[in-house]
Structures are given as structure tokens and as C-alpha cells.
Amino acid sequence: MAMVIENRIWDAAETLSRQNLERLQLDRLRECVARVAHVPFYQEAFAKTGVTPGNIKSLDDLRRLPFTTKADLRDHYPLGFLAVPREKVARYHGSSGTTGKPTFVAYTQNDLGLWADLCARFLVAGGLRPEHTVHIAFGYGLFTGGFGLHYGVERVGAAILPAASGNTPRQIMLLEDMQSDVLVCTPSYALNIAEVAREQGVDPTSLSLKFAHFGGEPWTEDMRIQIERELGLFAFNNYGLSEVIGPGVSGECAARAGMHIQEDHFIVECIDPDTLEPVGPYEYGELVFTAITKEAMPIIRYRTRDIAALDVCPCECGRTTVRMSRVKGRTDDMLIIRGANVFPSQIEEALLRVEGAAPHYLIEIDRPEALDEVTVKVEVISEIFSDRMSEMQALRDRIDREIQAVTGIRVKVDLVASQSLERSVGKAKRVMDRRKLGDG
């Protein structure tokens, strides 16, 4: 795989020998275990298995530590996993969960500095230089995407145009007028920008964009080719999740042959989600991360539910870190809609708030052009049927509002005839995802 741009490495830690890297990981793991020892969840788990920082002798001892799941975080809502006093916290972020409440994560000032560095690493690996202007079209809010990339770009010393998300025509005007070199957003939003630009009579390849850094949702090589052709740039993939730190867990280098995991800060495992046993290199499994250097909320063996494979061969870029493949799926039913995490159970929860709306529904997801579209079909049973059109429209609007309130995303609500949705024996089929993301 040829390098598409000049190879530059931000931090010497990315090229540590495997031996030194693993020694560093072990030291940091011990420190991490000591830091979380008073977090009730870990205290209890460590007591059961007799784990102490002192008896972590090798990285293999990681397997004696408990897994942490999204459900564990939810059970200790909002801040039961906090490992420092609240006055040490500098920032909170959050991601959506299976219920209407977010999962909160916390950062100390040091954590924010680390996060900026980790984002700087993949940004530089993917072509960012101090003289560039970066257009960030991620939401700035509880979502980690906007702020994480923002601080990474700042750390590199490039200029930021914090356009935030939404209002695509305005984004195109900013891109044209400000001549940004780098685009940061979700890959599907990049395609939307190209499409809207063409509608406005702007040739998207005429924009001055040279590079793009995409994350926040799964995408494919086909999409990369399409985006690069339509916008005339080089696109790089990065990966992260708020529970681990946000963006910056891994990212592509100039070789674009997998995303380098920042192993001096995150120990990765790839497991069989059923047996919980490790799978071999190059085999697909569920990624599990231990954030060994975070202060506010270090997390032990976090089960991401993301399915990917690890490549342990040395990379031509000189980094010694393991690379992960694209995420090819999930072990749970979480959906990523326009970069936002949505669980079918959230939509059900919203429907339950509208009396009579819940029993028979179907969530359909399409990507007709660039952006995901969600249609929630709800069967009209006699409890919710009215001979008045105004009431039927009010019903549809109410379902629409409730879904938006719980999930944060806009969907199209279709009222359909009773018994028109397919009934299956046992567990009803609630989701039909027609997006094509199959090639991993």
C-alpha cells in the first residue's frame, strides 16, 4: 500500500519498540488498577478475584480484571465510575444509551491534554500541518466528536473554523469563502456536502479541501472512493468512543492500511463476544479497551460491542502500534444514524409514551443519497384511530416529537394500516437496516 501523503509522526511514543511499549503498558496498567481500586464497581470486582496493583505481574494478568459494559455505566449513573473528586473534573461529555439518559464521561485537565495529543497524532498522520485551516462540521456538545477534534487541531497549531453541524448550504459557503484545507465530519455528511454543493451549482471538486478526517460512524472503502472523487481530497478514518476517551483511540496513517491504536494509552483486546476468549490476529471479534492513563474515569476492559480485527504486522509508516480494521458491525442492536447512537429500545420507549402506539412498529433505515433516513412505521390500531384528520396528524406529530426527545434524531413517522407489518413468531422484527455497509 503506497503512502498517499508525506509520512510524519507526531509523538515518538508511536514508534516505541514492542518490548518498551509493553513494559510501559504494564507499568501504566498497575497504576491504573491502583487509581480505580476505590471505584465501587471495581473495588467489588477486585475483591472477588483478589486483584491488587501489586499482583499484576504481566499484561496477561489483564484477563483477571473484570469487563466493563455500557450497562455497568448505566447502573452507576451518572458518575459512579468517577475515580477522582468532582472538583478535579474539568469536563463532562456523554453519549446516548439504551434509555433516554446519556452515559456521562469525565475528564481532568490532564485528560483533556492527553485527548488533544491523541487527536493530534492521527491528524498529523493524515496530513494536517500547522499552516492548514480545518473546517469542523461535527456537533459541539455532549458528543465528543466536535471538541476532541477541535483540541487536536489546536494542538497541532492549525487554524480552526468551528462550523459545527447542520445548515449545509451555509457550510458550503464557509468552505468556499474561507478556503479550508481540511474537513472534519462524518463520512456521510461529506457526501451530503458534495450533493448540496452540486445542487447549488458549486462544483465540490473546486473547493480547496485537501484532506478529510472522518469518524463517528461506520463507513466503507466504496464510500471513501466516492467521497475522494466527489470532493477531490484524501480521506482518513479515525475511531473512538466516549467511554474510552472519544476520538483519538485510533486513526489511519499515510499508508491507510488500518487504524493505529494508541497503545501507550489504551490496551486493546479482541474477543469472541460469546465465549469472551481472545480471538487471533486478523480474526474478527469484539474490541475491548482498557484506558490505562486516564485520571477522571479510567475504564477497565470496556466492551465496545464493535466488531473489528487486529493487524499486528509492522506498518511501513514506522509506527509500532497494532492496527484495527474498519468496524464491520455491532454485537448489540445499536444503530448509528448520521453519527448518533440510537437503540431500537429508545424508539420503543418513545412510542410507549404515546398510548396505543407501541404494539406494532418497524424501524426502517435507508441511505438514499448520502444521509441516513429513518422511517418509523406505526400501525394504526383502534385505540389511536380517529375519524378526525387533525387528530391523526397530531398523533403523528406527537410520535415524531417523542422519538426526537428520546433519541435526539429526527425520523419520519409513517402511520400504516393495522396488520400491515410483518408478524414473526417469537421476537418481532423491529429494525430493517437497508444501508449497504457490508464490505467491512
Partner 1 sequence: MKLTQLSLFLENKPAHLRKPCSVLAQAGINILTLSLADTQQFGILRLIVRDWEKAKKALEEAGCVVKTTEVVAVEVDDKPGGLDELLGHIEKASLNIEYMYAFTFGREDKAIMIFRFEDPDVAVAALQTQGVNVVGSVELYDRSQR
The residue ranges that bind partner 1 (CB under 8 A) are 380-382, 385-389, 392-393, 414-420
Nearer to partner 1, 55 or 418 (CB): 418
Sign for the CA dihedral angle at 295, 51, 303, 285 comes to positive
Nearer to partner 1, 76 or 401 (CB): 401
314 CB neighbour count, 10 Å cutoff: 12
Nearer to partner 1, 38 or 423 (CB): 423
CB of 413 to partner 1, least distance (A): 9
CB of 383 to partner 1, least distance (A): 9
CB burial of residue 91 (10 Å; 0-12, 13-18, 19+): middle
CB of 388 to partner 1, least distance (A): 6
CB of 379 to partner 1, least distance (A): 9
Type of residue numbered 403 = I
Q: Give the H/E segment covering residue 364.
A: strand 361-366
CB of 377 to partner 1, least distance (A): 10
Nearer to partner 1, 48 or 388 (CB): 388
CB of 421 to partner 1, least distance (A): 12
Long-range CB contacts (within 8 A, 24+) of 311-317: 311/257, 311/258, 311/281, 311/282, 312/281, 315/253, 315/255, 315/257, 315/258, 315/260, 316/1, 316/3, 316/255, 316/257, 317/3, 317/7, 317/9, 317/125, 317/253, 317/254, 317/255, 317/260
Nearer to partner 1, 213 or 396 (CB): 396
Query: d(Cα 236, Cα 211) in Å, to the nearest integer?
Result: 8
CB of 403 to partner 1, least distance (A): 16
Classify strands 340-342 and 361-366 as parallel, antiparallel or unpaired.
unpaired
CB of 360 to partner 1, least distance (A): 11
Nearer to partner 1, 45 or 413 (CB): 413
Of 240, 232, 238, nearest in space to 181 by CA: 232
Nearer to partner 1, 179 or 419 (CB): 419
Of 97, 108, 160, 153, nearest in space to 127 by CA: 153
Sign for the CA dihedral angle at 30, 320, 268, 292 comes to positive
Nearer to partner 1, 164 or 421 (CB): 421
Let me know: does 165 contact 217? Beta carbons within 8 Å.
Answer: no
Let me know: does 203 contact 194? Beta carbons within 8 Å.
Answer: no
In DSSP terms, 378 is beta-bridged to 361, 415
CB of 392 to partner 1, least distance (A): 7
Nearer to partner 1, 112 or 421 (CB): 421
